[in-house]
Amino acid sequence: MKKYTIIFLLFFFLCIGVLVKVLSNKHQVKEESKILSPTEKKVEPKVEQIVSNVVLEDTIRAPQENLELPLIHSKDQIIRHLAYTIRYSEAYEQAAWVAYELTADETNRLYERSNDFESDPNVSTGSATDRDYKGSGYDRGHLAPAADMSSTANTMQESFYYSNMSPQDPSFNRGIWKKLEELVRDWAVDYKSVYVVTGPVLTDGLPTIGPNHVSVPKYYYKVILDHHEHPKAIAFILPNQGSKESLTRYVVSIDELERITGIDFFPGLVDREENALEKEVCIACWSWTSSSSGSRSHHSSKNVGTSSQCMGTTKKGARCKRMTKDPSGFCYQHD
Q: Any idea which of 101-105, 111-115, 218-222, 287-291 has the lowest mean pLDDT?
A: 287-291
Q: Give ∠ CA 330-333-335 in degrees, rounded to 5.
A: 40
Give residue 9's pLDDT. Answer: 61
| Contact indicator for 84, 101 with CB cutoff of 8 Å | no
- Counted domains in the chain: 2
Mean pLDDT, range 280-292, rounded to an integer: 83
d(CA 274, CA 306): 47
- The question of whether 298 is a catalytic residue gets the answer no
Give residue 15's pLDDT. Answer: 62
Give residue 289's pLDDT. Answer: 79
Give residue 127's pLDDT. Answer: 95
- Do 99 and 161 belong to one domain? yes
- Do 79 and 220 belong to one domain? yes
- Do 250 and 304 belong to one domain? no
Write out pLDDT tens, residues 72-93.
999 999 999 999 999 999 999 9
Does some domain include residue 53? no
Q: Is the pLDDT of residue 122 over 80?
A: yes
Which DSSP state fits 313? B
For residue 220, give the H/E element and its range.
Answer: strand 219-226
Burial label, 75 (beta-carbon count in 10 A; 0-12, 13-18, 19+): exposed
Confidence of residue 195 (pLDDT cuts 50, 70, 90): very high
- Do 171 and 196 belong to one domain? yes
Angle between helix 271-279 and 254-261 (nearest 10): 90
- Do 285 and 154 belong to one domain? yes
CA 189 to chain centre: 22
- Do 305 and 321 belong to one domain? yes
Amino acid in position 161: Y
CATH number at residue 137: 3.40.570.10
- Do 145 and 132 belong to one domain? yes
Amino acid in position 91: A
- Do 269 and 327 belong to one domain? no
d(CA 146, CA 175): 16
Does some domain include residue 45? no
- Do 254 and 115 belong to one domain? yes
Our CA dihedral for 141, 145, 149, 153, rounded to 10 degrees, sits at 30
Write out pLDDT tens, residues 104-119.
999 998 898 889 999 9
Does some domain include residue 48? no
Give residue 93's pLDDT. Answer: 97
| Catalytic one of 73, 81, 142, 334 | 142
Write out pLDDT tens, residues 137-187.
999 999 999 999 999 999 999 999 999 999 999 999 999 999 999 999 999
The SS3 of residue 51 is helix
Enumerate the H helices of 85-136 as residue ranges: 130-133
Q: Lay out the sheet containing 219-226: strands in order across.
A: 77-80, 85-89, 94-103, 193-200, 219-226, 232-239, 251-252
The SS3 of residue 226 is strand
Does some domain include residue 183? yes
Q: Which residue segment(s) compose the domain that 167 sits in?
A: 61-299
- Do 306 and 289 belong to one domain? no
Q: Is the pLDDT of residue 285 over 50?
A: yes
d(CA 137, CA 201): 20
Does some domain include residue 14? no
CA 280 to chain centre: 19
Exposure b/e, 31-54, CB count within 10 A at least 16 = b: eeeeeeeeeeeeeeeeeeeeeeee
- Do 87 and 160 belong to one domain? yes
